[in-house]
Structure 1
């Protein structure tokens, strides 16, 4: 393909994806009562939007040229990962481990995660690298065309093709109206890519939201070697429920009959979460393997990993269990005690250690240093627990705050939720003795550019976060910005002033993947990895 035509195809793929309804538009349906089954019929129960999800996705899968049966009959085998926190990290860790065994039976490895931070190519990873532009264009184009042709056949069978007197036009057939919403379409594109790539036999698939009704849960049990439920928390309550137990029910929907499912064993004071997971495993005929904290603490994790943070050792441990099970199911021989039922985490071979160290995921505990010497720490954490963990991670990297010769800047936003409790959770995690972790705190909206002349942006959320910061720690200098670019320029000014005094500058950008994406887009051309 010529360079210009390849570029055109990629731009076409991005334009097509941009036409699809976003996940946010879908999840907003759950923020209000579900519509009645029939307009005006008050005696009918409300429509369960969740219950429609899998039948609808199976129809889209069929239109794209696949069925659960065809996936089961293929040589492709999947690790399926759900959870509230850590599911992206665990997915990346498993894929990185499997990549070390590509010549020993695992084959080439695919990885499907969400959301993306800078480029949609991050969502579909082949052999450790984001899918290339030309391959993304190819697979998006092929799925788009298959769905268009399926809609044409169905319209023709129903006598609905445009004949000058109404019906469905060619433009409508080729447009977004005959396609699923964004996440479902990308799931189809990822499955198509994995099935089409020569020699690709292993794939790690991360759920989008939930598990039971998630678009990825069309994977048949026969094609799944291991399931994972990572740490649970309160998120997407409209779709999943307002208790951790209800959310656990949804996440454990990835459990499959006869397939081992791995999770971190939670203490008894965490409510009925473990009971729910155990009940669901029995209900679905899965084998639940609970990874105990005591085992993880004895092992201690792997030093020098790209995915940083004290909490990552728990993600690593679950990833090791799932990757090991996948390799065994693929017929890979694991040597020594690690290949026996008596194995422990300390028995893992060098390939596993290398895989754990090398795994990375954009916007998750990512550290970059730009040309001006500013050290950027970016993480898209957006729940209480995950922000507390990110706070502990950043505090651990600042060294001895009392004797530190650095300025420490927080860049924060959470546009969709109350920022006060989230910010307090972050600050609680980052607290070191009686010293303030942050010398400066900047609160911004997620838009990259400043508003156009005459445009006004609501900064009430940012002002509330600023007031929360001032109430918690009045010694921290605070500011509010209407866009990320001026906020980054403000940080660069702070860093320049610090350099005059011989001080370095460390930044933590967190609270939203949208914020992190904008930050990375701005600084990416000026960083050293």
Structure 2
């Protein structure tokens, strides 16, 4: 096989698992918090934890614990705001590095990608190039496949990493080979048993807002989720968390005591600029404050003695240069304004409604509000999510005149880009558009409802409204899959 970018993507895609395990390993599934084990315990889990095998695979690639520790990892977990917090942290450290020389190279590993797989592995604010991704992918793939007999098997037969494990390994390999001065790693889903938790001793850890999510894997209570997320705490490593519910705080404090971790809960920093565009969404002020605390702690530990703090100018520039596609993002096309956020649960759509109401009012009040929405999932009540968004918009004074429902299919001709990593989600239930249309009509019989089978068609429909009305303000939300397709059509990845 030729070592091309396209072939790297095909091999990577072959490592997707067909679906989450249907059976719970053991007798009781994920334990309740009263049964949750200590640091050395092993609870019953759904399937094989993704952490299994990561140490051995890194070793087979020639990377020791010291190699991993030497790239100075900041490890961030949470339910909401992980990506934004990582991006704010990256922005602060990058600006500081431009001024002082440290850190000179800032790595970032996040998921999911929106426009292409390379978005998940970035250095100094840019996705790695196709050439670099291809080079490091095949170094990892060839290095592991040639020694597959020695790697840990997950099912008695298959001894290669699964999709997310492989991506994390490529990220570690890339940052070690590129000698980054800091590497910011976002967890995938949990924490304790997440593939990224192979990090022996991060420089700093952080946890964003905790809410119920991925309950089939993490457990049915907020305490279960908190236990898993705080699994990234490491002995003696400073940890920071945004404000949390009392039940979450209790779990975090217990785990911090167990691991002898200095833990600090971060409130919103009142010194942040009041009118910064990146902070229009109130939740982003929380994420930014947490990132600021994390970045300052990192510099205190790792920077040269003469430059161990962020200046007010660093902070202002870091916020100004903040960029996190598809999260509280605005794109302007003449009189047409697109407002994008990949919110996909009830808590996040409430935040989006508040942000949209505040931000969209800055534009022309004569142009109509438009909503483009879809959410296709077996795990969530899609109709309930739509209803929550509708009521949240109304509570914030927004009543969209036009509602456009669509699917995850990107283009009208059905073509799919080679680096799209969401292929399995392209086929919605046959009645999803009818379900959404009928549901919204019950909420607002006066709204004009449009259905489009592809995201491209939804954008065309919104533009036609803009032409007719002299402009529009369109909110696009409900799923990162939807927002990713929109971004690829409006602003493809370079």
The two structures share one fold, judged by TM-score above 0.5: yes
Q: Please give the per-residue CA displacement for 1:110-162, whole angstroms capped at 9, x wherever unaligned.
A: 0000000011111011011111111111111111111112226679xxxxxxx
TM-score (norm 2): 0.86
Distance 1:333 1:352 in 2: 19
Give the equivalent residue in structure 1 for 2:400.
438
Q: Please give the per-residue CA displacement for 1:88-117, whole angstroms capped at 9, x wherever unaligned.
A: 000011111111232443231100000000
Check if 1:230 corresponds to 2:208: yes
Contact conserved, 2:53 with 2:151, CA < 8 A, in 1? Answer: no
Q: How does 1:163-312 map to 2 (within 5 A)?
A: 178-198=159-179, 200-221=180-201, 224-266=202-244, 270-293=245-268, 296=269, 298-301=270-273, 303-306=275-278, 308-312=280-284
**Which residue, 311, 318, 326 being the options, matches 1:355?**
318
Give the equivalent residue in structure 1 for 2:368.
407
**Which residue, 451, 467, 473 being the options, matches 1:506?**
473
Distance 2:303 2:445 in 1: 60
Deviation at 1:445, TM superposition (A): 1.3
* Structure with the higher fraction of residues in helix conformation: 1
Deviation at 1:331, TM superposition (A): 3.2
Structure-2 change in CA distance of 1:426 and 1:490 (3 Å):
same
Give the equivalent residue in structure 2 for 1:168.
none
Distance 2:43 2:227 in 1: 21
Check if 1:471 corresponds to 2:442: yes
Check if 1:98 corresponds to 2:98: no
**Runs of 5+ consecutive residues of structure 2 not aligned to the other structure:** 29-41, 415-425
Structure-2 change in CA distance of 1:182 and 1:55 (3 Å):
closer
Contact conserved, 1:305 with 1:358, CA < 8 A, in 2? Answer: no
Aligned to 2:229, the other structure's residue is in SS state: helix
Q: Which has the larger radius of gyration?
A: 1
Q: Root-mean-square deviation (CA), in Å?
A: 3.0
Deviation at 1:348, TM superposition (A): 5.0
Structure-2 change in CA distance of 1:457 and 1:289 (3 Å):
closer
Aligned to 2:52, the other structure's residue is in SS state: helix
**Which residue, 450, 466, 478 being the options, matches 1:495?**
466
Contact conserved, 1:365 with 1:377, CA < 8 A, in 2? Answer: yes
Give the equivalent residue in structure 2 for 1:21.
16
Structure-2 change in CA distance of 1:492 and 1:331 (3 Å):
closer
List, as ranges, runs of 4+ consecutive aligned residues in structure 1 with deviation greater than 6 Å. none
Deviation at 1:307, TM superposition (A): 6.4
Distance 1:472 1:378 in 2: 23
Q: Please give the per-residue CA displacement for 1:311-338, whole angstroms capped at 9, x wherever unaligned.
A: 1111010000000011111034477xx9
**Which residue, 482, 487, 493 being the options, matches 1:515?**
482
Give the equivalent residue in structure 2 for 1:123.
120
User: How many pairs does the alignment contain?
Assistant: 462
Distance 1:412 1:48 in 2: 34
Give the equivalent residue in structure 2 for 1:60.
57
Give the equivalent residue in structure 2 for 1:366.
329
Distance 1:365 1:479 in 2: 24
Distance 1:318 1:10 in 2: 36
Deviation at 1:286, TM superposition (A): 1.0
Q: Please give the per-residue CA displacement for 1:455-501, whole angstroms capped at 9, x wherever unaligned.
A: 996343333332332222223211223222222222222222112xx
Structure-2 change in CA distance of 1:51 and 1:256 (3 Å):
farther
Structure-2 change in CA distance of 1:255 and 1:301 (3 Å):
farther
